[in-house]
Amino acid sequence: MRPAAAALATLLATSSAAAQTNLAETYFNNGNRAFAAQRYDEAARAFREAHAISHRPELLFNLSRALERSGDYVGAVQALQDFASAGAPGFDRAALDQMLTQLRPRADQQREREEAARRAGQAPEVIVRERTVERSVIEPRWFRVEYRRSAVSNVGPWVTLGVGAALGVAGVIQGVIASGSVNTLNNVNAGTEAWSQSAADAHSNASGEVTRAYVFGGLGLGLAAAGALWLALRGPGERVEVRDAPRIAVGPYGLGLAIGGTL
């Protein structure tokens, strides 16, 4: 009986976790739908409920945006600070700090208005209104964060490096040829080699070969350095939120389907 009881407890726990996941997804989806319809207070309520169930930090960012659009700047700052404290996964911290810097003055103004209303004996404005969030399951919307570079930024540094390397190799080859011509002339001048057609050719070509070696080598080195510098300074690219298909994972004994993805 004990193994059977343990298996039953495992199945019940799996089923409960799956139910919680489905409920969080429903709130998340309803939040997305409400946000798209500009019902920001309803979206904030849905994102708050989804986070309370799933504890996914990304939902705090969604909650902050919904609260900001609804006019609750105090709540938006708090949600964004909680998102930062949770590590702000997939989000640039400099951009996050800039958003907080822009929101804080509005939050301060909101507090001042509410304090003035209290002193005047008026009830402060309720920003987020309680509404019943529809729990119907709709098509999931998953997002992931990517950083994308332009085609020029992706290909340009490598092309520059390649051209620089090719010119560098050409400079080395030209330098070897020029060295041979110079050695031939030195041998003729030293009397160790008789004057010949090859010596005449070396005499007429040596100056141009040395010049080409320096030009090719210099250009190659410059382009290679420019390509390496371009690679180092081009950055991660533009931040883009991309729709992603949900990933399905089957739990133990084929029960407890868990949909995974980025909320």
Of 95-109, 144-158, 172-186, 249-263, which range is least confident?
249-263
- pLDDT reported for residue 155: 84
- Token representation of residue 47: 């994102």
- Counting DSSP H helices and E strands in the chain, the numbers are 7, 4
pLDDT recorded at residue 231 = 79
- Greater confidence, 63 or 263? 63
Looking at the DSSP assignment, which residues form a beta bridge with residue 240?
146
pLDDT at residue number 128: 41
What does the pLDDT average to over 190-201? 66
> Where does the pLDDT of residue 78 fall: very low under 50, low under 70, confident under 90, or very high at 90 and above?
very high
pLDDT at 73: 92
Average pLDDT over residues 2-12: 44
pLDDT, position 240: 64
Superfamily of domain 2-130+140-145: Tetratricopeptide repeat domain (1.25.40.10)
Is the four-CA dihedral 111, 116, 121, 124 of positive or negative sign? Answer: negative
- Domain-wise residue ranges, the chain: 2-130+140-145, 151-235
DSSP 132: P
Strand partners, 88: none
130 has a pLDDT exceeding 50:
no
The total of other beta-carbon atoms located within 10 Å of residue 105's CB is: 10
Q: Which residues of 37-56 are buried (b: 16+ CB within 10 A; e: fewer)?
A: eebbbbbbbbbbbbbebbeb
Span 138-175, pLDDT tens digits: 344 445 556 677 878 888 888 998 998 998 898 889 78
Q: Which two tokens stand for residue 115?
A: 């304090």
Q: Report which listed range, 16-20, 206-210, 252-256, is most confident.
A: 206-210
Hunting for tokens 């409400």 — which residue is that? 34
Helix axes 58-70, 40-54, angle to 10 degrees: 160
Q: Specify whether the CB–CB gap between 234 and 216 falls below 8 A.
A: no
